[in-house]
Amino acid sequence: MTDNGERRPSPDALLEQAKAETRGRLKVYLGAAPGVGKTYEMLSDARKKRIEGIDISAGVIETHGRAETLALTEGLDIIPRLGAEMDLDALLARRPEIALVDELAHTNAEGARHPKRWMDVDELLAAGIDVWSTLNVQHIESLNDVVARITRVRVRETVPDAVLERADEIELIDLTPDELIERLRQGKVYAPDQAQRALRHYFAPGNLSALRELAMRRAADTIDGQVRGHRKAQGEDAPWAAGERLLVCVDEREASAGVVRHTKRLADRSKAPWMAVHVETARSARLSEVERIRLAETLRLAERLGAETATLPGDGVTETLLAYARDQNVTQIIVGKARRSALFEMVFGSVVRQLIDRSSSISIEVVPEPATAGAKTLFPLISAWPALTSRGVVEALTMTLLASLVAWPLDVWLGVSNLTLVYLAAVLISALTRGLWAGLITGLMSALAFNWFYTEPRYTFTIVDPDNVLALLAFSGAAIVVSALAGRARQQTLSARTEARTSRELFGLSRQLTSAMTEDEAAESLARYAGRAFDVECVVLARVGLNDLRLAGASAASLDLTDADMAAARWTAEKGEPTGRGADTLPGARWLFLPLRTARLVSGVVGVARATLLTPSERRRLVAMGDQAASAMERAHVSIALEQSRVETEAERLRGTMLASLSHDLRTPIAGILGAASSLRTYGDRHDPQTRDELLGAIESESARMQRYVEKLLDMTRLDAGSIQAHLELLEPGDVLSAVAKRARSLAGSHAIRLEIEPNLPMITADAALADQAVFNLVENALLHGQASPVTLAARRSGDTVLVEVLDEGPGLPPGEEARIFERFQRGSAAIPNGTGLGLAIVKGFVRLMQAEISAKNRPDGKGAVFSIVFPIQVEP
């Protein structure tokens, strides 16, 4: 609310309200458990609306065989289902004023437009149709784990919290545990056998009471959010006391802990939530180390007692505190009253008095400081005195001297009378560069210098003219005001620079973590950015197993942790609580260790060390950076685990495929060899010479075939092990193809092998043995799949390369399989019994070793496939 009392609605709230006006309204009947009567109540309300003339249609109603629920559907317009699911299009075309859609958390059958029923409801709302639906508390996403711990049953169908938060109306359908259990025993919820099992487990009285409390709290939270949104839309600053909400103001004084405990007692008596807030102003930068520690301990005390804590940056305590209180709908502020003199409050003002004067409808409770508290000084000069260093005093005197030197020629040569402006500029510069107290000292020295040099009688501190007295007083007052304003501006500038640097580091960290592929990369990013953001030494420790840690990242290479430091870090990882300097455990340690939490576990520990203690706001920012890094570390860990699992699965698949291939492809030649050898042993004398030659030839042929298979297995093993090295040399392409053709004719049978070599080809750079085997494997593959058609070996120049091609006239390659054909154990045709599925994979490996390229495609004329190897040539200088 503005000072003149005018209400100004929140633009964001008005925008949300405008969006809501174009959508339908959602009403949710929320229950603690099945059987409380959600559907029954929804249908009862629908019948009343129909009597009032409201157009209502039911998209889906689940009666679960309950007679009293089924009776309420009589006369209701129910849209026929599309298969097992709601006919969304029919309901949209029907366009009733209110649509009844039971069981909001339901998962639709495969093939439906949306996977979840709540998405169907969202489409109905977007079309401007009001929707009534039902929901049990165990289906709310954020409560899924809580309900699972209570009932030991995890529900798989959930609804995002945002769906419930967007509900315009929530009606809590409540039954006491005894009433619900009685309905269960009467068979009104489940069949008798199922009801008995449910009574022993899910529907135990203690479970029902806990679920009932969850439902009530969730409904209350949603309603509270709606109240806040309405207050913002109406421009209401004053809180609406629909429920008590307490806020305690925390500062660095010893008595502040007592105020926190007093607020805790008030909150317990009124059963109200409460918050502990500290306002950071320019004065916060001047707190001593002891005061910083005391403030941090007071905020941790509030957290342990159950309060929400926050640190609010602001120019003034009163304005910042009241603005936050109104935003959070606080009904009562508790503040401690320091024991200060009336003169102090007259000069510097009183936060308590300002809160009382400006609080409007918010109650203010003042807790006086105990009489045993330490005595206060008249003015808080001691806490600010560290700014008065010898260097600051020297600089103040220097600025005064410079101002006097600038004023002298203006007085002597130009006769300027108002020389106080020159000294005032010196005061302003001192305050902006060195702070408030440097400005005040410069102001004091300037007043004395102006009196000494430029007021009559000169070179004395005597003042004769009353006008000069007034001028000096005015100058002194202006110097004080200018120093205060400039000092405040300097503190705000320094704070803004710190915030900007922290924001810059947070943004940089988020970008780095997005691209982090391993835990160490995420840890190194966190250590580096946190070290720069807070001027600290930073280490990040990642988990190793369940009980150990390893150094994963550090802001500097020389950082080292002692055994005691590692023990403290392990305690943090085990307990999930801060340890070390500024924490409740081992507060005297040099390092502060904070857990890196994810939703599932503590993935590591971040440790920081510096001369001064981290402020509460710095600690919260460090926790925020740690949370980002923890998620990235967990993501990297899961990614590595998935990759390892994929590799192991692929290796297992390859082992299985290889064993199957061995059992098939080796069994055939072995069977032929055994048959021929057995025939020769048994009937050797009875066979004529031609038959014996044929049997020996079969043994020789099958042995060669088995040898080729074993050689391919050995080649593949050597490729995987990296033991094959390519010895590149200059080769004649024609010689390579001629040697392969000659070697392959023993396998060709009825196939014709043709050579088409372009004349005057340049030399290629390749390994002789690898090139020969690669082309031979391609020819062997063409002979297996070519269906007795000719096989052509061609070589021609293509730019700065030589293209070696093997063409067949077989069935060709299956569409889309051109790249997969080079994978292990991939066969182009299942009808070919003699293929091993390794030949082309070996070719690809050999070609890569020779820094060449291989590809496969179907021939343009559709008469088979063509395999191409592109060899680099020796370019003449």
Q: 724-872: which CATH number, 3.30.565.10, 3.40.50.1110, 3.40.640.10, 3.80.10.10? A: 3.30.565.10
Q: Would you say the CATH fold of 524-645 matches that of 246-368? A: no
For residue 87, the model assigns a pLDDT of 92
- Confidence band, pLDDT 50/70/90 cuts, at residue 111: confident
* Residue-averaged pLDDT of the chain: 79
Residue, of 723 and 314, whose pLDDT is higher: 314
State percent of the chain over pLDDT 70.
81
361-370: pLDDT as tens digits = 788 999 887 7
State percent of the chain over pLDDT 90.
13
The answer, yes or no, to whether the previous bond of 457 is cis (omega within 30 of 0) is yes
- Every domain of the chain and the residues it spans: 11-234, 246-368, 380-489, 524-645, 724-872
The answer to whether the CB of 612 falls within 8 A of the CB of 589 is: no
CATH of domain 524-645: 3.30.450.40
CA distance 488 to 284: 12
CA 300 to chain centre: 26
The answer to whether the CB of 151 falls within 8 A of the CB of 207 is: yes
- Confidence band, pLDDT 50/70/90 cuts, at residue 407: confident
CATH of domain 11-234: 3.40.50.300
742-759: pLDDT as tens digits = 888 877 766 788 899 998
For residue 762, with 0-12 CB atoms within 10 Å meaning exposed, 13-18 middle and 19 or more buried, which class applies?
middle
- Confidence band, pLDDT 50/70/90 cuts, at residue 129: very high
CA distance 811 to 828: 9
For residue 825, the model assigns a pLDDT of 60
- Confidence band, pLDDT 50/70/90 cuts, at residue 4: very low
Amino acid sitting at position 98 = I
- Res 625 pLDDT > 50: yes
For residue 77, the model assigns a pLDDT of 92
Q: What is the DSSP string of 611-661?
A: SSPPPHHHHHHHHHHHHHHHHHHHHHHHHHHHHHHHHHHHHHHHHHHHHHH
CA distance 538 to 536: 6
143-190: pLDDT as tens digits = 777 777 777 777 888 888 888 888 888 898 888 888 888 877 777 776
- Confidence band, pLDDT 50/70/90 cuts, at residue 831: very low
| Of 563, 567, 564, nearest in space to 547 by CA | 567
- Say how many C-beta atoms besides its own lie within 10 A of residue 576's C-beta: 14
Q: For tokens 């503040």, what's the residue?
A: 335
Q: What is the mean pLDDT of residues 520-540?
A: 89
For residue 877, the model assigns a pLDDT of 43
For residue 371, the model assigns a pLDDT of 61
DSSP 143: G
For residue 376, the model assigns a pLDDT of 47
Range with lowest mean pLDDT among 455-469, 508-522, 624-638, 762-776: 455-469
Q: Report the b/e string of 75-88 with b at 16+ CB within 10 A.
A: eeeebeeeeebbbb
CA distance 864 to 443: 97
297-346: pLDDT as tens digits = 888 788 878 888 888 888 788 899 998 998 888 889 999 887 766 666 66
Q: 246-368: which CATH number, 1.10.3720.10, 3.90.1580.10, 3.40.50.620, 3.50.50.60? A: 3.40.50.620
- Res 13 pLDDT > 60: no
Range with lowest mean pLDDT among 217-221, 632-636, 825-829: 825-829
Q: What is the mean pLDDT of residues 562-574?
A: 88
Helix or strand or coil: residue 207? Answer: helix
For residue 621, with 0-12 CB atoms within 10 Å meaning exposed, 13-18 middle and 19 or more buried, which class applies?
buried
- Confidence band, pLDDT 50/70/90 cuts, at residue 389: low
Q: For tokens 């007295």, what's the residue?
A: 469
- Confidence band, pLDDT 50/70/90 cuts, at residue 375: very low
For residue 654, the model assigns a pLDDT of 59
Q: What is the mean pLDDT of residues 432-455?
A: 80
For residue 16, the model assigns a pLDDT of 57
Here the tokens at position 135 are: 């929901």
Q: What is the mean pLDDT of residues 761-773?
A: 87
- Confidence band, pLDDT 50/70/90 cuts, at residue 44: very high
The answer to whether the CB of 576 falls within 8 A of the CB of 623 is: no
- Res 737 pLDDT > 50: yes
For residue 247, the model assigns a pLDDT of 94
Of 125-134, 363-372, 526-535, highest mean pLDDT: 125-134
Residue, of 124 and 486, whose pLDDT is higher: 124
In this structure, are strands 246-249 and 274-280 parallel, antiparallel, or unpaired? parallel
Range with lowest mean pLDDT among 34-48, 235-249, 553-567, 801-815: 235-249
Q: What is the mean pLDDT of residues 806-814?
A: 84
- Confidence band, pLDDT 50/70/90 cuts, at residue 249: very high
